[in-house]
């Protein structure tokens, strides 16, 4: 298994370009199943998760070609509606095929996604949405089997904000008969880009960027072509790479307003920013002020940047807390950061961080996607050498992260394990 070897304590400099958003691309890839024909997606990142979703679409009968950053998906001959255990167990986002397969075939068979390092990951809200549209759901032998002769539009009230359930509800309702209203829909930019893509396919969805989405069902959708939005989590991760190494760097090809809340919190910590168009330049302070954060659905502080911000706060001048209300167990990185001489205590789903003067390099292990990015950030700041094992997690969500960091002057190399 590959490892990263990092010699930390160096300033970074220069500019980094942000890739297309993984969490925007994955649901759009499954939305192509709603039509027959060739859809074309641009600015697609080369990630393990994109490869896994491409494989799943091929299993369903689609033809998928990936050249450069262009993904072509021909769904003309899709004739299979089962997402098997061995694929779903590796990538939870496979559940995004459930809505489109139900809408296209009147049935689907999707392995119940298991838990992962950040929590149990229930799917009750996904099922509630499909039942509201008329599906009967049978769950047996670890498979979810929704079936419905004719989907009928309805009211869908989510008692909790869920990105995935909002996506699946949208991808089912677009071909349902009549009108569907989704209340308490997720506001994440990735939902907005899914709505843009579905409307390009011929869907009729109103209310983008609000919590109330109104869908007027149509009888047929066509393939579409679209550019993927930049990855706001990669954007935030690189801003924190600059912040934790006290460097002035520029992050380009991003959408600053998508991570406004991170910029606000980092300004509270003393950082200054220069935002010009799709670029953000960060200016570090002498002293990092401690800042408390609580993760909440968009536009509040994203859970996917919780670990990275926590790593930054290990070097703050004082005490602060980081609470994750979305994934209360998402703290596997804390133990590893403490191995780098951080001083973090856990109290249920809240980390209490007492800032230290510096971190020191050690051997650590990645556990999940965002935690592994966090360990890289901490390694960049730590004095001496840090070795990170199990870095396959990081390749799931970051395109060539070590090359991008090397271009910024980081001393990081990948050692084939």
Residue span binding ligand EPZ (CB under 6 A) among the ranges 117-125, 244-252, 262-270, 314-322: 117-125
Identify the residue among 109, 258, 370, 414 touching ligand EPZ (CB under 6 A).
370
End-to-end CA distance of the chain: 4
Q: Indicate which single residue of 25, 30, 111, 162 sits in contact with ligand EPZ (rule: CB under 6 A).
A: 162
* 203 touching ligand EPZ, by CB under 6 A: no
Q: How many residues does the chain have?
A: 417
Shortest distance, position 222 Cβ to ligand EPZ, whole Å = 25
Question: Nearest to residue 232, comparing CAs of 256, 266, 212?
Answer: 256
The token duo for 255 is: 């959408």
List the x/- string, 163-192, binding to ligand EPZ by CB under 6 A: xxx---------------------------
| Cis preceding-peptide flag for 299 (omega within 30 of 0) | yes
Sheet holding 293-295, edge to edge: 293-295, 319-324, 350-354, 344-347
Measured in degrees and rounded to the nearest 5, phi and psi for residue 360 equal -125, 140
CA nearest neighbour of 330 among 342, 338, 322? 322
How far is residue 328 from each of residues 28, 274, 367, 375, measured CA to CA in Å? 28, 34, 16, 19
339 binds ligand EPZ (CB under 6 A): no
d(CA 98, CA 145): 9
Angstrom distance (rounded) from CA 145 to CA 141 = 10
Shortest-Cβ-distance residue relative to ligand EPZ? 164
User: Is residue 75 at the binding interface for ligand EPZ, with CB under 6 A as the rule?
Assistant: no
Is residue 261 involved in binding ligand EPZ (CB under 6 A)?
no
Hunting for tokens 């369903």 — which residue is that? 60
Residue 24 φ/ψ, nearest 5 degrees = -90, -35
Q: What is the C-alpha separation between 313 and 307, in angstroms, rounded? A: 10
93 binds ligand EPZ (CB under 6 A): yes
Q: Is 397 in the site for ligand EPZ (CB under 6 A)?
A: yes
Instruction: Give the nearer residue to ligand EPZ in terms of CB position, either 121 or 212.
Output: 121
Segment near ligand EPZ (CB under 6 A); pick from 120-128, 137-145, 146-154, 248-256:
120-128
Options 82-90, 116-124, 220-228, 336-344: segment touching ligand EPZ (CB under 6 A): 116-124
| Alpha carbon 93 to chain centroid, angstroms | 10
Active-site residue, 116 included: yes
Q: Does 30 bind ligand EPZ (CB under 6 A)?
A: no
> Does 126 sit near ligand EPZ (CB under 6 A)?
yes
List binders of ligand EPZ among 308-327 (CB under 6 A): 326-327
Is the CB of 122 or the CB of 318 nearer to ligand EPZ?
A: 122
Annotated active-site residue in 116, 148, 254, 320: 116
Nearest approach, Cβ of residue 149 and ligand EPZ (Å)? 24
To ligand EPZ, the closest distance from the beta carbon of 119 in angstroms equals 6
Interatomic CA distance for residues 65 and 39, integer angstroms: 11
Residues at the contact surface with ligand EPZ, assessed by CB under 6 A:
23, 26, 93, 119, 121-126, 160, 162-165, 303-304, 326-327, 369-370, 397
Catalytic residue positions? 116
């Amino acid at each position: 298994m590959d490892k990263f070897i990092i010699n930390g304590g160096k300033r970074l400099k220069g500019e980094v370009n942000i890739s297309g958003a993984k969490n925007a691309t994955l649901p759009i890839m499954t939305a192509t199943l709603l039509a027959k024909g060739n859809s074309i997606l641009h600015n697609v990142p080369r990630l393990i998760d994109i490869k896994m979703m491409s494989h799943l679409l091929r299993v369903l009968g689609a033809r998928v070609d990936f050249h450069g950053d262009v993904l072509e998906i021909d769904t003309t001959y899709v004739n299979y509606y089962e997402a098997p255990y061995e694929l779903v167990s590796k990538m939870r986002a496979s559940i995004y095929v459930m809505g489109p397969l139900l809408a296209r075939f009147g049935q689907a068979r999707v392995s119940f996604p298991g838990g992962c390092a950040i929590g149990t990951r229930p799917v009750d809200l996904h099922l509630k949405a499909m039942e509201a549209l008329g599906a009967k759901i049978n769950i047996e032998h670890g498979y979810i089997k929704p079936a419905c002769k004719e989907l009928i539009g309805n009211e869908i009230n989510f008692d909790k904000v869920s990105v995935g359930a909002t996506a699946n509800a949208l991808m089912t309702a677009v071909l349902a008969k009549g009108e569907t209203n989704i209340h308490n829909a997720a506001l994440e930019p990735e939902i907005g880009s899914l709505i843009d893509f579905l409307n390009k396919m011929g869907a009729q969805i109103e209310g983008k960027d609000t919590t109330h989405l109104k869908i007027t069902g149509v009888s047929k959708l066509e393939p579409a072509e679209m550019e993927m939005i930049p990855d706001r989590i990669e954007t935030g991760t690189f801003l924190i790479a600059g912040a934790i190494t006290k460097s002035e760097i520029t992050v380009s090809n991003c959408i600053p307003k998508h991570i406004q809340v991170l910029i606000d919190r980092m300004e509270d910590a003393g950082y200054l920013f220069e935002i010009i168009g799709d670029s953000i330049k960060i200016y570090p302070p002498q002293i990092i002020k401690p800042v408390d954060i609580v993760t909440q659905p968009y536009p509040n502080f994203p859970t996917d940047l919780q670990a990275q911000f926590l790593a930054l706060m290990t070097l703050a001048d004082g005490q602060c807390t980081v609470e994750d209300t979305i994934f209360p167990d998402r703290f596997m990185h804390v133990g590893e950061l403490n191995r780098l001489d951080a001083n973090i205590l856990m109290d249920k789903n809240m980390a209490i961080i007492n800032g230290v003067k510096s971190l020191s390099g050690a051997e650590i292990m990645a556990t999940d996607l965002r935690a592994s990015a966090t360990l890289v950030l901490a390694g960049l700041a730590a004095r001496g050498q840090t070795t990170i094992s199990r870095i396959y997690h990081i390749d799931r969500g970051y395109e060539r992260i070590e090359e991008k960091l090397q271009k910024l002057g980081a001393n990081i190399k990948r050692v084939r394990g």
